[in-house]
Amino acid sequence: MRILPVLCLLLSAFVLSPASAADPLPSWNDGAAKTAITEFVAAVADPEHADYVAPSERIAVFDNDGALWVEQPIYTQLAFVLERLKTMAPQHPEWQEQQPFKAALAGDMDSVGDAGMEGLMQLLMATHAGMSTDEFAAVATDWLATARHPRFERPYTELVYQPTLELLDYLRANGFKTFIVSGGGIAFMRPWTERVYGIPPEQVVGSQIALKYSTDLGTPVIMRKPEIAFIDDKAGKPVGIQRHIGRRPIFAWGNSDGDYQMLQWTTAGDGRRLGMLLHHDDAEREYAYDRDSHVGRLDRGLDDAAGKGWVVVSMQRDWGSVFPAAPSQALAHP
């Protein structure tokens, strides 16, 4: 029973502290975007509010590339692919003439971008199939530990957005379950999303290549086959949500037209909902791009946001900081 007085002391400290008054989103500047978030969360988490939502239905979905971490000048996963392509190229002379391999090996990112998400998937298959799921996770983890972003010269897992880290924490503190719903490869994200975002592998939805269970070599393995199983982009996102989560989110966070249907599906449901689009308009601290970008194009979303009640977040205006200040912060995240 020695522990009881200690627990009560701790409890007193908690109850007495002004924690509830502290700003849960310190990296967000005051303004319409921040207010939209806090008012939404206050409403759906308050049992006395007309817009109350039961905790089990508080599902929040986040795109990853350009929404939770940097996607310029090229998708991080594409940078990963390029290094492997170069390593494998001597064994594949046909790639010198075949797109999008030729462009990728030449570093012609415009042409690779033109090939879209499906082109990216082709490069992914060629470089990432024919090995087990465990082997692939190890390769991805090893690469991320040493790779550096060409402009910021930091590991990619430190080029996550501090304001969205706070948003994820804030939503979870208010009973939300947070999911990633990304066009990127699910197996490329899962090895690090729990450490960096606090999102466990089972709450990551993404594009997938086909898998096959095999005991051919005695020890059971799951092999990665060179075949696209699912592309979790555009109209694929609501399908990925349904397949994986099985209920409709009430909060969606994206940044490109690839997220359009995810926001549409999320916000068209009954009751209170919130859809948000991050607008990359900050060339100084990050990048500025929208309607004409090969990567993360945002065009239709900008046109339709107001009519659909989606909140456009200006990186320049609404965010007080972009990346975590010190490496230790990003790495220490749960």
User: Residue 325 CB, nearest distance to its own copies (Å)?
Assistant: 27
From CA 206, how far away is CA 64, in angstroms rounded? 9
Nearer to its own copies, 72 or 207 (CB): 207
Q: Name the residues that contact its own copies, by CB under 8 A.
A: 1, 3-4, 7-8, 11-12, 15-16, 56, 59, 133, 177, 179, 186-187, 190, 194, 200-204, 208, 211-213, 215, 219-220, 222, 229, 235-239, 242-247, 261, 264-265, 268
Choice between 26 and 200, CB closer to its own copies:
200
Pairing relationship of beta strands 221-230 and 311-314 according to DSSP bridges: unpaired
Q: Please, what is the minimum distance in Å from the beta carbon of residue 133 to its own copies?
A: 6
> Cα 291 to the chain's mean position, in Å?
21
User: Rounded CA gap, 228 and 209, in Å?
Assistant: 4
Asked if 245 contacts 179 with a C-beta cutoff of 8 angstroms, the reply is: yes
Q: Which of 31, 269 has the CB closer to its own copies?
A: 269
Separation between Cα atoms, residue 114 and residue 292, nearest integer Å: 12
DSSP 45: T
Query: Closest separation between CB of residue 201 and its own copies, Å?
Result: 3
Give the Cα-Cα-Cα angle 329, 333, 334 (nearest 5 degrees): 160
Compute the least distance from the CB of residue 225 to its own copies, in Å: 10
Q: How far is the CB of 88 from its own copies (least distance, A)?
A: 24
Q: Please, which residue, 151 or 247, has the CB nearer to its own copies?
A: 247
Minimum gap (Å) between residue 93 Cβ and its own copies: 33
> Which CB atom, from 300 or from 317, has the smaller least distance to its own copies?
300
CB of 94 to its own copies, least distance (A): 30
The pairs formed by 18-27 with CB atoms below 8 angstroms and a separation of 24 or more are 24/166, 24/169, 24/170, 24/173, 25/163, 25/166, 25/167, 25/170, 26/166, 26/320, 27/162, 27/163, 27/166, 27/319, 27/320, 27/321
Residue where the block lists tokens 């993404």 = 206
Toward its own copies, which CB reaches closer, 56 or 146? 56
With a CB cutoff of 8 Å and minimum separation 6, the contacts of 256 are: 63, 66, 67, 296, 297, 298, 301
- Specify the residue, 129 or 245, whose C-beta has the smaller distance to its own copies: 245
- 3-state secondary structure (DSSP) of residue 108: coil
Among 127, 85, 139, smallest CA distance to 226 is for 127
